[in-house]
A and B are shown apart, each in its own frame.
Chain A
């Protein structure tokens, strides 16, 4: 039972991170390997606003969320718009370089100490009981946040005009431009939403376990989950996260705890060997460099 709870919590973490990967890839066909660093930036944002808005934790959280969204738009406006139309490799390398830049900047500004934003917010991470298992309050918040996020995203993408335009731009950018859809606006929105959800994931993880360098590693581990589900499918991201987290938790429990960092990548390799476009992804023309 505890295992099941652990799987669900880990899956929620991965899923929340994955929707960032999927959003950006689906809309602009760019794989953002800076997502881990952007997550950490979001968490540091919370740390900053928590100390800034000392007595108002809700305000701090809201401010941090808005900040994360704006950072995403800035990243697009400053760098990624120049990479539209360039080769796949160039865009991915640009995100990698951006990640490196952000990582260095964060160390310079915030130092390497582990931070505990939850304390600064004035909340405590109680341990709750679910049947015979235990779950932390933040863990529960994670699961709820993921569920809410996915629900909202599905509704947005299927129901609203802007959501439909985002999907359209992702499928056929040229036609979208010919139909009056502003591509730059759509891409910026995707980046903003992705950074917002990623930042939220970072904040929650930081509240649960503390804010330190390993946050970026979690971001990178979530990436196989996105691929296993299919890089352009949100439903796939959910399923992929469950698969990867189940594999990870079970193998850690029954085989070797040190395997945790490598299991997602083994699952990824297996998936690439069998079905490269993932469980729910569209079978696209696998691009040339």
Chain B
């Protein structure tokens, strides 16, 4: 079944700046879907629209619909959206700095009727067990991200939105986090929507991917199809096969052949 569906979503800031223009995507239950794009493409805005934390920057969903289990949830207050089981792991300020790891996990409030134990989180991230009495502000970047995902898990999410998993992290750490995310999906059945700038990482674990640019979806497909696509290769995966000199690589000369 389709857990989350965006239909021609339009999000505008202060009712004049349209950041997301007609985005449609589907997230099937139990899958990992990646949303790729560069800075300013509108990915974070889309996540914010889904999770309800959109009013902060004076933004609103102006057109289209967000359907969760068939129910329209756009422009709902954030705590209602969280209560439905949609939990966001934000890009910045993702942990409570002055609380210990254990307190961070305790602080999260699960949605009604769900029961989550800290031990589950420690299973996926054993490192946190060793660090449980340390203040979250003193954790390294990778440990922080683990804690962020862990505390999101404590809310017993059905759909986990992860914003920029790999930002600022070493490749080894990112690989480990990706494995953990896949394990979470496999064992807990949590659906994941990943927003990523690092296409390599995203396409490694995703079942399906969308590429976003300037507020629109310009390409979508399975990871194999995306990896094979020349434009994705050139602009997102580091240039394809041949070596090129910088003199030749000019964005405006090479127009992209988006379709899809």
Report A-B touching, CB under 8 Å.
Answer: yes
A positions within 8 Å CB-CB of B: 161, 164-165, 167-168, 171-172, 174-183, 282
CB pair A178–B98 under 8 Å, yes or no, is no
CB pair A179–B99 under 8 Å, yes or no, is no
Query: Given the known A-B contacts A177-B53, A178-B53, are A168 and B107 also in contact in the complex, defined by CB atoms under 8 Å?
Result: yes
Cβ of B69: which chain A residues have Cβ within 8 Å of it?
none
CB pair A171–B97 under 8 Å, yes or no, is yes
B positions within 8 Å CB-CB of A: 51, 53, 56, 78-79, 82-83, 87-88, 90, 93-99, 103-104, 106-111, 151-152, 154-155
CB pair B96–A181 under 8 Å, yes or no, is no
Contacting B109 at CB < 8 Å: which of A171, A172, A180, A282?
A180
Cβ of A282: which chain B residues have Cβ within 8 Å of it?
98
Given contacts A161-B106, A161-B107, 16 further A-B contacts (CB under 8 A): A164-B99, A165-B109, A167-B98, A168-B96, A168-B104, A171-B97, A171-B98, A172-B93, A175-B93, A178-B53, A178-B87, A179-B107, A179-B108, A180-B82, A180-B83, A183-B79
Among residues of B, the one whose C-beta sits closest to the C-beta of A184 is: B79
Among residues of A, the one whose C-beta sits closest to the C-beta of B110 is: A180
CB pair A182–B79 under 8 Å, yes or no, is yes
Cβ of B98: which chain A residues have Cβ within 8 Å of it?
167, 171, 282
Cβ of B78: which chain A residues have Cβ within 8 Å of it?
177-178
Among residues of A, the one whose C-beta sits closest to the C-beta of B151 is: A179
**B211 CB → nearest A CB, Å:** 26
5 pairs of A and B residues whose beta carbons are closest in the complex: A180-B109, A168-B107, A179-B108, A180-B82, A164-B103
A181 to B93, CA, bound (A): 16
Cβ of A171: which chain B residues have Cβ within 8 Å of it?
96-99
CB pair A178–B51 under 8 Å, yes or no, is yes
**A75 CB → nearest B CB, Å:** 22
Among residues of A, the one whose C-beta sits closest to the C-beta of B148 is: A175
CB pair B93–A174 under 8 Å, yes or no, is yes
Among residues of B, the one whose C-beta sits closest to the C-beta of A161 is: B106
**B129 CB → nearest A CB, Å:** 18
